[in-house]
């Protein structure tokens, strides 16, 4: 953890072992004033994250189901990277000099589509077609369907291997574009993720940043009951990456981590990973408190409640 961060002694998620406890203690919780990040910058991203969550709820309602919990949890990460970090041209998603954002977790597409709408790459009106026949927005993200979708994720553990190739290829061709790969803690089960982690360090891909959504949940249950991935921080550090672990639902902390990563980014240097502890269903208390599930069920009458809770929480926070 970088020295500029204060360490929160309160774990933000329940853990079972001392080993987990040690790792979780590294989670930082940063108030805006402590980060040195201007309040306007945080407010802008927080507003974008609110809209991404709102879009995700609307898309989930059309389908009657979906990966809404993940979208809500990752909304701050997506808002921060699209609203604050990525260089892109909304009108030209294939602009050669763009930074690449790779969604390795294809099922997070619902959140990614919302972020692409927020970025102006996908029209907001199109979001309601999510998961429908002939839509450009399939349930699992695919590059051949959606503008701004760089890869076809979904078979987990692929994104970081592709990202390594992209970072190598961009650097070889003299591009200053950077590559961001979004993956989940479930993908840390996949051996290919670690092949790529080794490869990125070996080739000194300082133009590569990995964002790991650690929501401690995967298809069959809690991550620490399915396959223990902790200590995650130490793993990435030992693989040679510039490693930061933050509260992924704290916009200020995310922006500090991105700034730190950007400050040490180089064509030839250490790859960077931002480990983001997030909460499934974040921003909607009804869903935050629900038994966590990979594929969250939401009753028909609950969607409006979800939106109202989301808005109340956002407006309460914004006015506080």
Partner 1 sequence: MSTTTEAPDTTTAAKPKLKTSAMIASFADPDQKTASAPFGHALVKAAQENDKIVGLTADLGKYTDMHIFAKAFPERFFQMGMAEQLLFGAAAGLAETGLVPFASTYSVFAARRAYDFLCLDAAEPNLNVNIVGGLPGLTTGYGPSHQATEDMAIFRGMPNLTIVDPCDSIDIEQAVPQLAASDGPTYLRLLRGNVPTVLDEYDYTFELGKAKVLRDGNDVVFISSGLMTMRALQAAKALAAHNVDVAVVHTPTIKPFDAATVLAEINTDRLAVTLENHSVVGGLFETVASAVVTAGVGKRVVPVALPDQFLDAGALPTLHDRYGLAVDRIVAKVLAELG
Report in angstroms how near the CB of residue 243 gets to partner 1 at its nearest. 20
Report in angstroms how near the CB of residue 78 gets to partner 1 at its nearest. 21
Q: Which two tokens stand for residue 142?
A: 């695919």
Q: How far apart are CA 132 and CA 90, in angstroms?
A: 24
Compute φ and ψ for 250, nearest 5 degrees: -110, 105
Report in angstroms how near the CB of residue 170 gets to partner 1 at its nearest. 5
Report in angstroms how near the CB of residue 296 gets to partner 1 at its nearest. 26
Segment interacting with partner 1 (CB under 8 A) among 8-16, 17-25, 146-154, 225-233:
146-154
Candidates 29, 53, 98, 158; binder of partner 1 (CB under 8 A) is 158
Helices 251-263, 39-63: crossing angle, 10 deg rounding: 110
Contacts of 82 (CB under 8 A, 6+ apart): 48, 101, 115, 116, 118, 119
Residue 139, interface with partner 1 (CB under 8 A)?
no
Report in angstroms how near the CB of residue 172 gets to partner 1 at its nearest. 7
Candidates 3, 144, 301, 316; binder of partner 1 (CB under 8 A) is 144
Segment interacting with partner 1 (CB under 8 A) among 44-52, 110-118, 162-170, 240-248:
162-170
Candidates 4, 169, 264, 312; binder of partner 1 (CB under 8 A) is 169
x/- letters, 86..115, toward partner 1 (CB under 8 A): --------------x---------------
Residue 143, interface with partner 1 (CB under 8 A)?
yes
Closer residue to partner 1 (CB): 114 or 142: 142
Q: How far is CA 17 from the centre of its chain?
A: 26
Closer residue to partner 1 (CB): 151 or 251: 151
Q: Binders of partner 1: how many residues, by CB under 8 A?
A: 33
Buried b / exposed e along 251-264 (16+ C-beta atoms within 10 A): bbbbbbbbebbeee
List residues near partner 1 by CB under 8 A. 100, 142-144, 150-152, 154-155, 157-158, 160-170, 172-173, 175, 191-192, 195-196, 198-199, 202-203
């Amino acid at each position: 953890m970088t020295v500029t961060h204060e360490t929160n002694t309160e774990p933000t998620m329940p853990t079972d072992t001392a080993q987990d406890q040690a790792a979780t203690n590294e989670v930082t919780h940063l108030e805006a004033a402590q980060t040195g990040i201007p309040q306007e910058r945080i407010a802008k991203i927080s507003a974008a994250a609110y809209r991404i969550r709102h879009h995700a709820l609307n898309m989930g309602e059309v389908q009657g189901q979906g990966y809404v919990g993940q979208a809500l949890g990752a909304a701050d990460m997506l808002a921060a990277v699209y609203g604050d970090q990525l260089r892109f041209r909304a009108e030209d998603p294939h602009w050669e000099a763009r930074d690449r954002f790779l969604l390795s977790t294809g099922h997070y597409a619902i959140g990614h589509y919302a972020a692409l709408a927020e970025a102006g790459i996908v029209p907001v009106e199109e979001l309601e077609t999510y998961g429908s026949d002939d839509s450009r927005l399939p349930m699992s993200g695919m590059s051949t369907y959606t503008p701004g979708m760089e890869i076809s994720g979904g078979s987990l553990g692929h994104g970081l291997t592709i990202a390594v190739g992209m970072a190598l290829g961009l650097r070889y061709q003299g591009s200053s574009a950077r590559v961001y790969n979004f993956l989940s803690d479930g993908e840390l089960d996949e051996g290919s993720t670690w092949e790529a982690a080794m490869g990125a360090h070996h080739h000194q891909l300082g133009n590569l940043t990995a964002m790991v959504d650690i929501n401690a949940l995967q298809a069959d249950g809690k991550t620490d009951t399915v396959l223990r991935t902790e200590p995650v921080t130490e793993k990435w550090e030992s693989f040679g990456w510039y490693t930061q672990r933050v509260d992924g639902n704290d916009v200020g902390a995310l922006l500090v981590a991105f700034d730190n990563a950007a400050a040490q980014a180089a064509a030839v240097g250490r790859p960077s990973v931002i480990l983001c502890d997030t909460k499934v269903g974040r921003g909607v208390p009804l869903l935050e408190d629900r038994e966590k599930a990979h594929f969250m069920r939401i009753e028909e009458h609950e969607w409006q409640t979800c939106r109202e809770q989301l808005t109340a929480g956002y407006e309460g926070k914004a006015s506080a």
